Amino acid sequence: MKIGLAAVLALLIVGAGLVSWPWRVAATKTPRWNILLITLDTTRADRLGCYDSNHDTPAIDAFSRSSVRFDRCYAPAPLTLPSHCSLMTGLTPPRHGVHQNGPDRLDSEFQTLAEVLRENGYETAAVVGAFVLDRKFGLSAGFDHYDDQMPEETSSVRYAERRAHEVTDAALQWLKQPRNSPFFLWVHYFDAHAPYDSPQYDPAFATRRPYDAEIHYVDRQVGRLLAALPASDEAPTLVILTADHGEGLGQHGEDTHGLFSYDQTLRVPLLVRLPDGRHAGQSIDAPVALVDVMPSLLAWLDIETSAALDGLQLPLDAADAARTTDRAIYFENEFPTHTYGWSGQEGIVAGRHKLIRTPQFELYDLEQDPDERNNVFDPDSERSRRLLSRLEDVAATLAARSASTMSAATLEDEDVARLHALGYVGVTRTPRPDAVAEDLPNPKNMLDVYAQVQTATHCFEQRQFAAATNKLLQVIAADPGNKRALRLLAASALNEGIDRSGPIDAMLVAVQDPIRPSRDTFVLGKLGLALLAEQRGEEAVAIFRKLQRLDPSSAAACASLAEALRQVGNSAEAAQWKARSQKLARPCSVTEWAPAAESAPVVPPSN
């Protein structure tokens, strides 16, 4: 591969922990290989047999024996959309601007792997398994065929997803089509995401833990997909298998993912099978990252680019691995901030060490302490100061080169319901908070509250609304700014048979909290409607005025304000707001709280 002077200069910032390969795509020669990229959602590396012999995933294990296995691959965030955006652009979240699932959208200014390959003669296709990767969120750029069709019927307690066998069927259907060009096919399996319940006909559920059974079920579908590839002598195919993030499974008190940034949710499998069989069976212990996949593919395919990517070329043997030991791999986690109103995290993996910036710094020696139980951060030690300086350098470099455009997806009401069902609360774009805020609660200190919210969520799933409400009132008393609890409480505020006074008073306190006042349009809208139902018109007027200021283009906010004014006898102003609501087109931002959308409450699981 040809690398120009700019690339040589870029190598000089390795010591700062952030390496950019300044490549811009240029069409070169006729491509040699097909490319199959398989991403397993929510899949821990140590739940695959090739990483841990206590587990059994026959198809993937067999595939690993003809592949290079990377033992320490890191996701940039424990969330689906940000991680996939990094995988497909070679950029970290601060660079591509996607920090959360939901309103964030990959902007068209960022060139994707699919765009690169299509410009270089590839036919491109994707088959994704969940709505969180819908084309609305920007990853369809460059794909000739982007299959994001989900089942039409969705439930407030189910995920907008399709089963692995349906994903495989769709991928195989595309593979069968005749073509004269090499292909790039991305296949995404979502099944390992909670709740864990693979199809009833899957016998694995009788003998395995539900999470492991989901992975075993996906493994069989991966086997089907790999078996359908064209013969290597006819059309050689480079295959990459990885995951977007892992799963907590109770470690560190985290059941699913998104709360913390430990290896249980950030370390992912990465297997690369080259068509010519080079380096088959090699295992690489050096830390690598998902942002390395795109620059590696470009290098292996001899495609030139001047785009400033954040990744390095993946090492394929021990000698190459030794040359990457001084890098620092950046990660972040904004889910606690957007979902609970707690502090997020950011950090680096540098060699054997991992530094996590939270309101209380954490440092782990992963070689001696792979489960990250012994925090060895000491502000007076040379090691801690050195790693902290590296993190600050990396964060400053990324901030200086951060996304110039922050895009938000255009969401329909049914889209918002789907994202809520996935457990993603922040579905309207707000000014991005600092990734780590010292004035926000540290999630490590909020595990009891986290457990209570999980219990309340389970009650909602069982439609035990009174029990859920009582539990949520306890949460709000202990943590008034808890965004998730407020949303769940707001979803129940109009349910029949529930004393509304408790939820209403709790939400009124929360929206006026001096430290973390709620600006959530869903909470404000539901609170206003509950106040109207209780004939508390003056308070409803105040709430709907605040809502209208936050969402001035919402016809529903204007109409609801008009109704509240009518209730308190202010007919003249009520008429003005009613007229304004009728002039407005469909709201630009989400108004899923509006009366027209009333049905079963949206019940987001934990994540």
pLDDT for the residue 22:
32
Contacts of 275 (CB under 8 A, 6+ apart): 32, 33, 232, 236, 237, 238
pLDDT tier for residue 574 given thresholds of 50, 70 and 90 = very high
Report how far residue 501's alpha carbon sits from residue 497's, in angstroms, rounded to the nearest whole number. 12
Give the alpha-carbon dihedral of 217, 221, 226, 227, to 10 degrees: 110
Token pair belonging to 442:
């540290």
Contact 154, 192 (CB under 8 A): no
Report how far residue 42's alpha carbon sits from residue 264's, in angstroms, rounded to the nearest whole number. 10
pLDDT digits (tens, 9 = 90+) for 495-538: 666 788 888 998 998 888 887 788 888 889 999 999 998 999 99
Q: Report pTM.
A: 0.87
Positions of CATH 1.25.40.10 in the chain: 410-597
Report how far residue 68's alpha carbon sits from residue 327's, in angstroms, rounded to the nearest whole number. 20
Q: Could you name the CATH architecture of 410-597? A: Alpha Horseshoe (1.25)
Q: Return the axis-axis angle of helices 555-567 and 521-533, rounded to nearest 10°.
A: 30
pLDDT digits (tens, 9 = 90+) for 373-420: 999 999 999 999 999 999 999 999 998 887 655 555 555 555 555 555
Q: What secondary structure letter does DSSP report for 142?
A: T
Report how far residue 134's alpha carbon sits from residue 160's, in angstroms, rounded to the nearest whole number. 10
Whether 589 has a pLDDT exceeding 70, the answer reads: no
Contact 219, 60 (CB under 8 A): yes
pLDDT for the residue 419:
56
Query: What phi, psi does 38 have (nearest 5°)?
Result: -115, 125
Report how far residue 10's alpha carbon sits from residue 295's, in angstroms, rounded to the nearest whole number. 14
pLDDT digits (tens, 9 = 90+) for 5-48: 333 333 333 333 444 333 334 444 556 899 999 999 999 999 99
Helix, strand or coil, per DSSP, at residue 262 = coil
Looking only at the bridges linking them, the beta strands covering 104-105 and 407-408 are: antiparallel
What does CATH list as the number for 5-327?
3.40.720.10
Looking only at the bridges linking them, the beta strands covering 145-147 and 123-127 are: parallel
Positions of CATH 3.40.720.10 in the chain: 5-327
Its sign, for the CA torsion 194, 196, 201, 202, is positive
pLDDT tier for residue 208 given thresholds of 50, 70 and 90 = confident
